[in-house]
Amino acid sequence: MSNYVIVTDSSCDLPAYLAEELELHSVPLAFLFGEKTYYNYPDNREMSPKDFYDRLRGGEMATTNAINVGQAAELFTSLLEQGLDVLVLSFSSGLSTSYNSYRIAAQDVSAQYPERTICVVDTLCASLGQGMLVYQAAKLRQAGKSLEEVRDWVEQNKLKQCHWFTVDDLFFLKRGGRVSAATAVVGTMLQIKPVLHVDNDGHLINVAKARGRKASLLALVDKVGELGEDVANQTMFISHSDCQEDAQFVADQIKEKYGTREIILNYIGPVIGAHTGPGCVALFFTGKHR
């Protein structure tokens, strides 16, 4: 049994069974409807994804909170007192302040436990892109790799985690400042769907447009052929914001076109879904580069 634990955020969107199987410590990030705060656990114990997206469709707005320094310090102290070292694989610093909170807390707590190790890595990933990197790291841990070996592997490979996604409703991107109000109105009228990715700085970037939903989904599939490495043998991930059929369509197309055997699907959790809205499909795979 390894003497370290991998800590990540619930923004990684890994299914609960995988988080348990991989022995991960998933920090539940907060989301709010009005004044009421909920926590995003992998098993969705406080609100189901279906209920979350139904509330967005009904016109409610959700906001999110990152972990703060005090919460991170409390977590680290608890783990170190159990005799465990800690490897944190954090939500992208380009999208959240969680990484900075972990980093500051690690400095503070490490001074009190000089015999223990805390390493904090900015994955520059989000949703199941972060989940894919955590999955790969946890597999290495289970294979007996040390904390330092896993940390170094993550640093060397995180910019090979390709994130490509499309949304159905431009107005959620408008609210987040990703597209202008005029683009949202005209794009909706003309059925223009953006194709976006997460860049090397961990930011969301709008890179292309497709005419219609099916074309935008097929554009994701095409990216596997353009960027992917050993696509038949890797485990890919697809997350979606309550559009299971569209996510399955992308998975089926990838299997048919590239022979990929294993693709794991799950919901986009509320931490990301508050900003994408319903109807987002996101594809994650390992490539030559992002």
User: Residue 10 is encoded by which pair of tokens?
Assistant: 């619930």
Q: Which distant-in-sequence residues (6+ apart) come within 8 Å of 74 by Cβ? A: none
Per the structure, how many domains does the chain have? 2
Q: Tell me, what DSSP letter sits at residue 266?
A: E
Among 110, 127, 158, where does a domain finish? Answer: 158
> According to the model, what pLDDT value does residue 2 have?
66
User: Residue 245 is encoded by which pair of tokens?
Assistant: 């059929």
- State whether 80 and 153 are in the same domain: yes
Helix (H, G, I), strand (E, B) or coil at 212: coil
43 φ, ψ to 5°?
-90, 5
- State whether 234 and 262 are in the same domain: yes
Residue in 138, 167, 165 with CA at minimum distance from that of residue 153: 138
- State whether 142 and 201 are in the same domain: no
Q: How far apart are the first and last CA of the chain?
A: 34
- State whether 149 and 34 are in the same domain: yes
- State whether 143 and 16 are in the same domain: yes
- Residue 193 belongs to what domain range? 160-286
> According to the model, what pLDDT value does residue 120 have?
98
- State whether 209 and 193 are in the same domain: yes
- pTM for this entry: 0.93
Q: What CATH number is associated with residue 73?
A: 3.40.50.10170
- State whether 8 and 150 are in the same domain: yes
> According to the model, what pLDDT value does residue 275 have?
87
- State whether 151 and 183 are in the same domain: no
- State whether 127 and 202 are in the same domain: no
**In the chain, which stretches have pLDDT less than 70?**
1-2, 170, 172-190
How far apart are alpha carbons 7 and 24 in whole angstroms? 6
- State whether 135 and 209 are in the same domain: no
- State whether 201 and 72 are in the same domain: no
- pLDDT tens readout for residues 104-129: 999 999 999 999 999 999 999 999 99
> According to the model, what pLDDT value does residue 185 have?
47
> According to the model, what pLDDT value does residue 218 have?
98
Among 133, 158, 183, where does a domain finish? Answer: 158
> According to the model, what pLDDT value does residue 161 have?
97
How far apart are alpha carbons 163 and 146 in whole angstroms? 27
